[in-house]
Amino acid sequence: MNFINRAFKNVTRKLSKTILLTLTFFLIGNLVIIGLGISNASENAKILTRQKMRAVVTYRLDQDKIWQHAESITDEDELNEFYRNYPRIKLEEVKAFLDDDRVKTANSITNNMWYQDAEKTLDYVHLGNQAEQNIDESNGQSCWYENDVERCETYRQPLFFIKANMFPNMIEFEDGDYKIVDGRFYNQDEIDSAKLVCVISEALANTNNLRVGDSIKLGIANVGIYYQEMGISQEDVDVEFEVVGIYSHHNQITPDASNYDYISPYENPDNMIFMPTTSMTLANLPIAQKEFDHTAQEVAEWGDENTIAYYSDPNNRPSESNLMNNVYIENATLLLTDPLDVDKFVEDYKDTITEFTILDANNEEFNRLAKPLDTLSMYAGFIVNLVVINAIVIITLVTALTLKTREYEIGVLLSIGASKLKVIGQFFVELALVAILGFSLSVVSGSLIAKQIGNTVLEYQISTSDVTEDEGNHYVMYGDYYDPWNSDYSDDVSLEDLVSEYEVNVSPAIIGEIYALGLGIVLISVLIPSFMIMRYNPKKILMNQN
Amino acid sequence: MSEILKLENINYSYIDGGYERQILKDLSYSFDEGKFYTILGPSGSGKTTLLSIIAGLDNAKSGNIYFKGKDLKEIGLHKYRRNDISIVFQQYNLISYLTAVENVMLAMAETDNDLPKDKKTVAYNLLERFGIVKTKADRLVTQLSGGEQQRVAIARSLASNVNLIFADEPTGNLDTATEKEIIEIFKQLAHEYGKTIIVVTHSDAVSEMSDQRVVLKDGTLSEM
């Protein structure tokens, strides 16, 4: 007859006490289940919605901070110095992020619109819409008189959209929206060596009968008067690229698109060409050098000492050797493997990133919309805590009062040599058995009640909160309107998305939590009575009865 | 007969109303194995205090108690109560939510003494020896008469296979006929099973049937 056996017999044979305590635990259990159910549903809704969102963190300059800092500078020279050394996103820092296991890849995109070469060797993929007819009409020469001299320049419409990246695995390809169907994507070596390579669409390849390994020639600028004055010729802007890969994508534009007639060729995703940012910069090198030389000549006439010195220094002239210094990164979008890591990732790095930069979890709208759920979760958690504290107080009191009526039993057990710890153990097991019974019953009823109450409370919470969806904050990357310029990779979220994921369920995790909580309540409730038992003296109990 | 319990210069006092009250004063006495002792004395003479000290429920202020030649301080009171002695109370002190047989098994669960494996059968046999048949042994103790409950208490005291049994007014709540039965059981335990029985009582009937009557007076024990 060990103490567990004794506890079992006490529970099964002292039925009125057992029923009362079971009822107490049953009521506590119901309240806890409702609280935990609502709290978990709120948290789950947030997690599930977050999981559906793309796990992106944007690393960019903190313009607000830069502005505030500039405003705080009163000395003009100091201010000029600050602007001369304007904060920049550092490539090394982005590369360091990529070393973090949580980061899958990064986009640091530079967009551009490019042209056909002089001989028009590369045809674009035609939609046959109104915008394309306008191109044919508007291409040509545009002339005007300047100081009674007629001046003309060739005017052309850009036809190709260039998406250049500093990293070989782009988010679009990681996500599966784009897929290499032949060849490969450009690699890190090609980025580092600024090799003139590109990846074109399947449709563009078919239109021009191109294969992997072929070359395409693109006009990287329109040689207008301004360029001509600088001595930039058509040969300078026509650049040849090797096709290393061909991709397919899911962004087909159909005639039922709302803006179909106004889609320019470069807005057609089939005319998008991927290449390394370094290659784009290298292609621009002849232009950049001639621009530099031209400016150097001009500043020699009217520039101040510092400017003349700058343009006189050959190290500042764009060249292949200082190409990487001239690659400018505006921002970087990091794609993480798990959307749930986003907040933690930002938290981990926020104090170590370069000054005047920011890691943006892109979750402002999400957090704003999730406010009713947060409030609900907070109140539910508050109820759970309150119930648990009350339960501990009630059960402690009941146990302590019960001790008085069981004094002689404790005396007998001590007189026959039972240890005080075993006596405490018996009380713990008795309460634990009753708690398990009460909580088990409450799991059945609580799951039914929690669902009903949870939904009602959420409806009330939403109706009384002032959360509305911010219509102006919706960025559409893919869909009816395709915007090639868009570099916002974060997903939209709506209140409906969140609410649709809100489901009060008493999951096995909650059930486990309830039993753990119940045992915790029992353990704490037995503590004070345990101190009383430890002070019991069998002589005083047994000898004073006679 | 060999000595089982030896008391040596036991003193016990407590503060009552600001004055120290000496209950036991340099008390020395030896109890032998296989004898039935009764301790007599007027109310307030300290009989119950003496019993609680020799039964390991309390400590004397000074002096030594030796069980089979070993000092209780060495054995430890808790271990002494668990393995060497058992106590029978006037109020029986059975556990109400357990059956008679379970109450008997209670003591068997706590002792370190060697006991047969089938404890339940041993408990039934013990109870049967004291007139509690199986049907009654399976009843909750609250459903038994006073005499039956005291028999269960005695059976429990024997269950842990100890040689020294203390009893505090064990027949105080019983009628004369039952009192006689219980005393017979004590005698039987002492004489047939070699147990030492030490009973604190007011009852002349009980003391007259004991092997040795000892009187507690002025804090010391003397034989009658």
- Mean pLDDT over A51-56 rounds to 83
Q: Is the CB of residue A191 less than 8 Å from the CB of residue A91? A: no
Q: Which of A366, A332, A458 lies closest to A50 in space, CA to CA?
A: A366
Q: What per-residue confidence (pLDDT) applies to B20?
A: 84
More confident residue, A258 or B103: B103
Chain A hits for B96, CB-CB cut-off 8 Å, are 409
Please name every residue paired with B30 in a beta bridge, in sequence order, or none if there are none: B6
Does residue B63 form part of some domain?
no
Which DSSP string corresponds to B72-134? HHHH-HHHHHHHTEEEE-TT----TTSBHHHHHHHHHHH--S---S-HHHHHHHHHHHTT--H
3-state secondary structure A217-237: EEECCCCCHHHHHCCCCHHHH
Residues of chain B positioned with their CB less than 8 A from the CB of A538: 57
Percent of chain B exceeding pLDDT 90 equals: 41
* Of the partner residues A9, A13, A416, the one whose CB lies closest to the CB of residue B81: A416
> pTM for this structure?
0.65
Q: Is residue B92 part of a domain?
A: yes
Q: How far is B208 from chain A (nearest CA, A)?
A: 22
Q: Is B203 on the interface with A (CB under 8 A)?
A: no
Any domain includes B73: no
What residues of B are in contact with residue A411 (Cβ under 8 Å)? 93
Q: Is A247 helix (H, G, I), strand (E, B) or coil?
A: strand
> How confident is the model at residue A490, as a pLDDT?
74
Number of helices and strands in chain B (H, E): 9, 10
> Phi then psi for A121, rounded to 5 degrees?
-75, -25
Residue B145 maps to a domain: yes
Q: Which residue in the block uniquely carries the two structure tokens 């009713």?
A: A372
In the stretch 57-116 of chain B, residues with CB closer than 8 A to chain A read: 57-58, 78-79, 81-83, 86-87, 89-91, 93-98, 102, 105-111
Where does the pLDDT of residue A26 fall: very low under 50, low under 70, confident under 90, or very high at 90 and above? very high
**A4, closest residue in chain B (CA to CA):** B109
pLDDT in tens, A487-545: 777 777 777 777 778 888 788 888 888 888 888 888 888 888 888 777 777 777 776 55
Q: Which residues of chain B from 111 to 170 reach within 8 Å of chain A, CB to CB?
A: 111, 140, 156, 160, 168-169
Please return the burial class of A138, using the count of CB atoms within 10 Å of its CB with bins 0-12, 13-18 and 19+: exposed
d(C-alpha A265, C-alpha B77), whole Å: 99
Q: Compute the distance between CA of residue A203 and CA of residue A126 in angstroms, rounded to an integer.
A: 10
Mean pLDDT in residue range B38-47: 87
Is the pLDDT at A546 greater than 80? The verdict is no
pLDDT of residue A467: 57
**In the prediction, which pLDDT does B131 show?**
84
* CA separation for the pair B114, B122 (Å, rounded): 13
- Residue A96 pLDDT: 92
Q: Return phi, psi of residue B81, to 5°.
A: -65, -35
Q: Give chain A's mean pLDDT.
A: 85
Structure token digits, residue A120: 């028009």
For residue A419, list chain B residues with Cβ-Cβ distance below 8 A: 78
What rounded mean pLDDT belongs to chain B?
A: 88
The nearest alpha carbon in chain A to B165 belongs to A416
Confidence band, pLDDT 50/70/90 cuts, at residue A474 = very low
Cα gap B35→B196, rounded to integer Å: 5
pLDDT at A479 over 50: no
User: pLDDT (tens digit, 9 = 90+) per residue, B187-222?
Assistant: 988 998 889 999 998 888 888 889 999 999 888 998
* pLDDT at site A1: 63
CA A249 to mean position of chain CA atoms: 23
Tell me which residue of A234, A224, A255, A61 sits closest to A154, measured CA to CA.
A224
The first and second tokens of residue A287, run together, are 């232009």
Which of chain B's residues have a Cβ under 8 Å away from the Cβ of A417?
78-79, 81-83, 110-111
Mutate to test the interface with B, among A3, A542, A545 (most CBs of B within 10 A): A542
The share of chain B scoring above pLDDT 70, in percent, equals 100
Cβ–Cβ below 8 Å for B168 and A543? yes
DSSP state of B140: B
Contact A9 B97 (CB under 8 A): yes
- Please give the ipTM for the structure prediction: 0.85
Helix, strand, or coil (residue A461): helix
Q: Which residues, in sequence order, are CB contacts of A299 under 8 Å at separation 6+?
A: A307, A308, A311
Is residue B89 a contact partner of residue B170, using CB atoms and an 8 Å limit?
A: yes
More confident position, A452 or B8: B8
| The two structure tokens encoding residue A300 | 């020699």
Would you call B52 and A543 a contact, using CB atoms and an 8 Å cutoff?
yes
The domain total for chain B is: 1
Q: Do A13 and B91 touch (CB under 8 A)?
A: no
Residue B189 belongs to a domain: no
Predicted confidence (pLDDT) at residue A25 exceeds the cutoff of 70:
yes
CA distances in angstroms from A132 to A135, A139, A162, A393, B142, listed in the order given: 5, 11, 19, 79, 103
> Nearest residue of B to residue A406 by CA position?
B95
Interface test with B, best of A534, A540, A543, A544 (most B CBs within 10 A): A543
Average pLDDT over residues A51-78: 90
* Domain assignment present for B141: yes
Query: Coil, strand or helix: which one is A81?
Result: helix
Lowest mean pLDDT among A45-49, A97-101, B149-153: A45-49
| pLDDT digit string, tens, across residues A332-375 | 999 999 988 998 999 999 898 989 999 988 777 778 888 888 88
Share of chain A above pLDDT 90, in %: 34
| Bigger pLDDT: A181 vs A525 | A181
